[in-house]
Structure 1
Amino acid sequence: KAVICETPLGCFGQTICYDLRFPHLYRKLSQAGAQILVVPAAFTKKTGEAHWHVLNRARAIENGAFVVAPCAVGKVEGGGESYGYSLIINPWGEILADAGSDSGLINANIDLEEVNSARMRIPSLRHDKSFQF
C-alpha cells in the first residue's frame, strides 16, 4: 500500500528498498501530493554500485521531488555486504548529500519551492499519459 504522510515539514511519500524499481509507485505518490520521497534500503554492494545512484536520481527527476534515501552499510550477518551511500537528492536530480561507504549522518537544506519550480519547468505529472498496447 502506498503511504503518504502530511507533516509541517512537507508531504512525504514513504517506500522501502525494492520499491525503488517501480517508477509508477513514485509517480502515484507524487501525483497524490508527495514532495519528499523516502526510500530506506539495504541494497547489496553489487546492485548498489550498478543501480543505487541512478535509480534514486531518476525517481527525483521523474517526479520533481526530493529523494531521501538512507541505505544500510557494512557486513551483513550470514555474509554479504550492504552498499551504503545514503543520499539526499533535489528535484533536479542533483545529489545534495552522499554518505559514501561509511556509516554516519547526512543532511541538506530542503526548500519545497524547488519542488514547485521543477514541476513547473517540467510538468510531466500533469501531462502523464496511459498507453494502450
Structure 2
Amino acid sequence: MSEATTTTDTLEQHIANNISGETWEVVHYLAMALKADNEGKTEVARTLRDIAMDEAAHGARFKYLAGEVGDLKDEIEKMLAGEEGAYDGKHKGMKQAEAAGEKEVASFFDTAAHDEGRHAAMLRTLLSRYF
C-alpha cells in the first residue's frame, strides 16, 4: 500500500503515516492469509503471514524510533486497560451479532474476547513479576 504523503509533510507526519499504513497492511495480509488457508493454498498463506510480520516489525520500529513508547510499566498498564476494555467491547459485539442471527460472527467475538482476557492476565503477570 502506498503511503499518501506530500512533500510538505513533516518527518513526524511521515512516521505517523507509515505506522498507520504498516498497521493496515498487517491486518490485510493476515486476512488474505486466512482466505488462502481456507482455499488450501498453504504456501500462499505462509508467505502472506511472513510479510505481515515484517510489516508489523516496520510499524513497531517506527513507533519506537519516534519515541512513542514511554516507561515500560506505564505502557503495560495502558495496554492492560485496553485489553480489559476490548474484552468488554467484544462481548457487546457478540451480543449484537447473536441478536442479528450472525452465529459465526458472534462465535468469533467470543473467541476474541477470551483472547483479550488472556492477554490481560499475561500483562497482570508481567506487572506483578517485574514491576
What is the TM-score when the length of structure 1 is the normalising length?
Answer: 0.24
**Structure of higher CA gyration radius:** 2
Greater per-residue strand proportion: 1
